[in-house]
A and B are shown apart, each in its own frame.
Chain A
Amino acid sequence: MISNEPQITASLVAEHGLKPDEYERFLKLIGRDPSFTELGIVSAMWNEHCSYKSSKVHLRGLPTKAPWVIQGPGENAGVIDIGDGLACVFKMESHNHPSFIEPYQGAATGVGGILRDVFTMGARPIACLNSLRFGDPKHPKTRALVSGVVAGIGGYGNSFGVPTVGGSVGFHSRYDGNILVNAMAVGLAEKDKIFYAKATGVGRPVVYLGSKTGRDGIHGATMASAEFDDASDEKRPTVQVGDPFSEKLLLEASLEIMRKGCVIAIQDMGAAGLTCSAVEMGAKGNLGVTLDLDAVPTREAAMTAYEMMLSESQERMLMVLKPEKEKEAEAIFKKWGLDFAIVGKTTDSSRFIVRYHGDVMADLPINELGDQAPEYNRPFAEPKKLPTLDPKSIPCPTTITKALEKLIASPDLCSKRWVWEQYDHLIQNNTVQRPGGDAAVVRINDGPKALAITTDVTPRYCEADPFEGGKQAVAEAWRNLTAVGARPLAVTDNLNFGNPERPEIMGQFVYCVRGISEACKALDFPVVSGNVSLYNETNGRGILPTPTIGGVGLLDDLSKMATLAFKTEGEAILLIGDTKGWLGQSAFLATVIGREEGAPPPVDLALEKRNGDFVRTLIQAGHVTAVHDLSDGGLLVALTEMAMASNVGAALDNPPAGLPPHAFWFGEDQARYAVSAKPADLPKIEALAAKSGVSLRRVGTTGGHQLTLAGENPILVSSLRALHESWLPDYMAGGHGR
């Protein structure tokens, strides 16, 4: 059909990641052999990353609606109503594969991509978070990956000018060959000025905006849809290069032309670049799109149609403009020094046509490329249930104090200050709760309202029991928002798994999603956006199943916000929720004893709701002075964090009889919080707890500068803090098991 293009052979098809049956399906669809450009286009649209072909059937089970949901999954980002005519726009997305290959640029462009998703909808980004998972600290690559990823996230977000306010960092040998970089962005928009990808109107100009197109990132999305092997380092050229300066200009220019009413539809060029953005805008609006590649601004000479269609050069957008506003929009982009080119038009043909140098390089049915991509209901194995461990069967090999010291200085639970000090977390002057608390709190404009934001998942729970682990990830996000006094509103999910073609991995995926679904329904916490990252696998070994949950909540009044630091001496410390001393899959079992065994703690969603609503009531009423969610490491780690945050110590009471002390202090039973309260408020709290049916136990009193446990030597809070703060900087300086 077109000269100078390679012959389509079976091996070329396979190199494009298309399975034989998928290629057959494509041949039937177009009724002839495809051109090379068409093969590239279909491989980009039908890969796992863009088409969600293995996950779609299961994602349909997620709850996505609530009265406050303005836009659920399927757009660039989710949108919720936060009152006063404002909307919160947010999404989380992975950039795992590129970050492993080239950590700085991989992570940087991950941040750039998610920011574009948010401002494409007309929102100004007000916060970023990121959830990172690295391999064993002893693995020779880990240090360089941590260093590169953190610098990349900072390098992009700091320059763009959005505060990075929270997230999480964890380590496990199962991420040795596949790290996770999940970036979340949150933006603020006027509720009636949200912009969508759906094109309307025939003959409207399709406009290319932003940076020029180069040869970087070609086949990035295809790479992200395959396993790694020993030769993966050779894939470096498929990683894109970020330019936060251009992105900042693109933000300002895009928001300006939106304000001026120039835009009909807008789509960011992310995975599969020009191909995916053009097809999605057309398919969503049930329109055809014709592109003229001669008009595309390019960075390199003699690019082919194939390269242009598959380039993942960053900081680019595609828009459908109101024809009468064309000149005005162009002037705005020129002012910001950005490219502006009319590269095509909408048609009524339902075809996606690509022209270049006078040739038709592609002529494909647009809907089938987008919405009607292959879909699989892959076979999956039901995960095996692990036995529940009896806490009495697990002796504590050391003193409670020594175990505590080990936990708070462990890679997963140590302070992540070394990471978040490299992120500008203060820009925009709205960061009310900085990194290190239960949830970040970001003021909305001049207040008094604020958003609470968190990212959560406990991968070892998900590995041991995907269903309970999925529930737990949602419950913990809900709990972290609750702990600062916010009303949890909605989530974005970033589902990271291994190879879905293996039934046990597919089983992890299916059951995690079912768990997420059940928890989101029970907690009235709908999923409004998300991303699936599969094939996080190297040489046949998959990552721990890691369905990261990004939760957003609303505080109506910042004066009724809780923080986790103990405030003053002489206050009662209370434990809210039931403690059975659950040690299966606990941080204590893994870190102190070196075993990852047993069933993880079950999540009773009714109890979560009851206890969380109770805590929020206490915060609203001003009855509590500090609040902290209980998670990894259980009660004693939480109390230590409350003490370290303020240098106010605590004298702790004897644990209840009938439970081994270490199970009481380190058990990870769910639906629990620790709070402090003035003694005078205790009767009110007790009465409320009795009325709500919430279990409440006094566990100590604040005071002094040390932590005192019955039968053990007191330990200075300052020495605990030194341990907690030193692990990560020491490690990054070359210490700890080189």
Chain B
Amino acid sequence: MKSAVLVFPGINRERDMARSLKLVSGKEPAMIWHAERELPKGTDLVVIPGGFSYGDYLRCGAIAARAPIMEAVRAHAAKGGLVLAVCNGFQIACEAGLLPGVLMRNSQLKFICKEVFLRIERSDTPFTRRYNAGDVIRVPVAHGEGNYIADSETIARLEGENRIAFRYTTPDGKLDPAFNFNGAMGAIAGIFSEKLNILGLMPHPENHVDPIVGPTDGRRLFESLIETLEAA
């Protein structure tokens, strides 16, 4: 798996992502500066990591979405290339038009860092094939603006096309407003693009792969990607 992690000024989880990619795949990703215009040849997976690109000033992800490298990311995605967009990366992907919708301020108006429960909505995707649909996994969140919102038409389409990747649920997989901590519509924690080659999600699977620092429920997401690319 040849992966490329984008680096914008103010991004701060790029090292966590690179480390987890290395830990699971055994290969170092390329770190790609925002001012570049091309991805390394043969890139299988582009990762837009978490952080505070451009300080989240203006609007989360708005400035990074217009960085030179994003043209190359769009071209990669248009050809069916894989894109994993986590947290600020999800916000950037939405701002860049790679995914629909927008991430608003958490409903309680606070930044929240904690472990949450996510229900896997489908397992027939490049990102989730090592999970079973209905599995509940534990991964951390760390964001102030992760409240997913889209117009009702978009939500209906996402639901209708089965493009919800993860939802915030109770430990046994039930929807419950008390567990939808940021107030996202439909308790949506992550969504797929139409062709299922782009995943955007607020939680941080890359922070739950190493048993020394906690649970390892995020690991299977990376294993899914490796398996997908090996099968291709």
Which residues of A does B touch, CB under 8 Å? 151, 154-155, 158-161, 243-246, 248-249, 336-337, 420-432, 443, 447, 558
- Give the interface centre of A244, A425, A426, A558 by most chain B CB atoms within 10 Å: A426
Q: Do A424 and B142 have beta carbons less than 8 Å apart?
A: yes
The answer, yes or no, to whether B177 is at the interface (CB within 8 Å) is: no
CA distance A160 to B9 in the complex (A): 11
Q: Do B57 and A245 have beta carbons less than 8 Å apart?
A: yes
Residues from 92 to 124 in B contacting A, C-beta threshold 8 Å? 110-114
Q: Do B54 and A245 have beta carbons less than 8 Å apart?
A: yes
How far, in Å, is A210 (CB) from chain B's closest CB?
Answer: 14
Beta-carbon nearest neighbor of B17 in chain A: A429
CA distance A159 to B142 in the complex (A): 11
* Extra inter-chain contacts (19) besides given A158-B144, A421-B112, A422-B111, CB under 8 Å: A151-B110, A158-B52, A158-B111, A159-B12, A244-B52, A248-B12, A248-B52, A249-B9, A249-B10, A420-B113, A424-B142, A426-B204, A427-B142, A427-B207, A428-B16, A430-B213, A432-B212, A447-B212, A558-B212
When the two chains form the complex, which single residue of A244, A420, A422 contacts B110, counting CB atoms closer than 8 Å? A422
18 A-B contact pairs sorted by A residue (CB < 8 Å):
A151-B110, A154-B111, A243-B55, A245-B9, A245-B10, A245-B52, A248-B9, A248-B12, A248-B52, A421-B112, A422-B113, A424-B111, A426-B207, A427-B12, A427-B13, A427-B142, A429-B19, A429-B20
CA distance A421 to B144 in the complex (A): 11
Beta-carbon nearest neighbor of B9 in chain A: A249
The answer, yes or no, to whether B89 is at the interface (CB within 8 Å) is: no
B residues in contact with A249, CB < 8 Å = 9-10
CA distance A11 to B202 in the complex (A): 57
Q: Do B111 and A432 have beta carbons less than 8 Å apart?
A: no
- Give the interface centre of A151, A244, A424 by most chain B CB atoms within 10 Å: A424
CA distance A425 to B141 in the complex (A): 11
Q: Do A429 and B207 have beta carbons less than 8 Å apart?
A: yes
Q: Do B207 and A337 have beta carbons less than 8 Å apart?
A: no
Beta-carbon nearest neighbor of B14 in chain A: A161
Contact with A along B14-29 (1 / 0, CB 8 A): 0110011000000000
B residues in contact with A158, CB < 8 Å = 52, 111, 113, 142, 144
CA distance A389 to B213 in the complex (A): 45
CA distance A682 to B148 in the complex (A): 54
- Interface size classification for chain B: 20 to 34
The answer, yes or no, to whether B51 is at the interface (CB within 8 Å) is: yes
How far, in Å, is B47 (CB) from chain A's closest CB?
Answer: 15
Q: Do B212 and A159 have beta carbons less than 8 Å apart?
A: no
CA distance A473 to B144 in the complex (A): 35
Q: Do B213 and A431 have beta carbons less than 8 Å apart?
A: yes
When the two chains form the complex, which single residue of B51, B55, B110, B140 contacts A426, counting CB atoms closer than 8 Å? B140
A residues in contact with B111, CB < 8 Å = 151, 154-155, 158, 422, 424
Beta-carbon nearest neighbor of A434 in chain B: B214
How far, in Å, is B26 (CB) from chain A's closest CB?
Answer: 14
Q: Do A432 and B12 have beta carbons less than 8 Å apart?
A: no
Beta-carbon nearest neighbor of A154 in chain B: B111
How far, in Å, is A126 (CB) from chain B's closest CB?
Answer: 11
CA distance A430 to B214 in the complex (A): 10
A residues in contact with B44, CB < 8 Å = none
B residues in contact with A432, CB < 8 Å = 212-213
How far, in Å, is A729 (CB) from chain B's closest CB?
Answer: 10
Residues from 157 to 207 in B contacting A, C-beta threshold 8 Å? 204, 206-207
Q: Do A426 and B142 have beta carbons less than 8 Å apart?
A: yes
How far, in Å, is A451 (CB) from chain B's closest CB?
Answer: 14
CA distance A337 to B67 in the complex (A): 14
CA distance A427 to B10 in the complex (A): 14
The answer, yes or no, to whether B71 is at the interface (CB within 8 Å) is: no
When the two chains form the complex, which single residue of A422, A425, A428, A443 contacts B212, counting CB atoms closer than 8 Å? A443
When the two chains form the complex, which single residue of A151, A243, A421, A427 contacts B16, counting CB atoms closer than 8 Å? A427
Q: Do B210 and A161 have beta carbons less than 8 Å apart?
A: no
- Give the interface centre of B55, B112, B206, B212 by most chain A CB atoms within 10 Å: B212
A residues in contact with B54, CB < 8 Å = 245
The answer, yes or no, to whether B227 is at the interface (CB within 8 Å) is: no
The answer, yes or no, to whether B135 is at the interface (CB within 8 Å) is: no
How far, in Å, is B5 (CB) from chain A's closest CB?
Answer: 14
Beta-carbon nearest neighbor of A163 in chain B: B113
CA distance A336 to B34 in the complex (A): 11
The answer, yes or no, to whether B217 is at the interface (CB within 8 Å) is: no
Q: Do B114 and A421 have beta carbons less than 8 Å apart?
A: yes
Beta-carbon nearest neighbor of A423 in chain B: B113
Q: Do A424 and B110 have beta carbons less than 8 Å apart?
A: no
How far, in Å, is B10 (CB) from chain A's closest CB?
Answer: 5
The answer, yes or no, to whether B56 is at the interface (CB within 8 Å) is: yes
Q: Do B110 and A159 have beta carbons less than 8 Å apart?
A: no
A residues in contact with B210, CB < 8 Å = 429
Beta-carbon nearest neighbor of A246 in chain B: B55
Q: Do A245 and B55 have beta carbons less than 8 Å apart?
A: yes
CA distance A244 to B10 in the complex (A): 9
Q: Do A429 and B16 have beta carbons less than 8 Å apart?
A: yes
Q: Do A159 and B9 have beta carbons less than 8 Å apart?
A: no
Beta-carbon nearest neighbor of A147 in chain B: B110
B residues in contact with A155, CB < 8 Å = 111
How far, in Å, is B35 (CB) from chain A's closest CB?
Answer: 9
Q: Do A159 and B213 have beta carbons less than 8 Å apart?
A: no
B residues in contact with A443, CB < 8 Å = 212-213
Q: Do A429 and B213 have beta carbons less than 8 Å apart?
A: yes
A residues in contact with B112, CB < 8 Å = 421-422
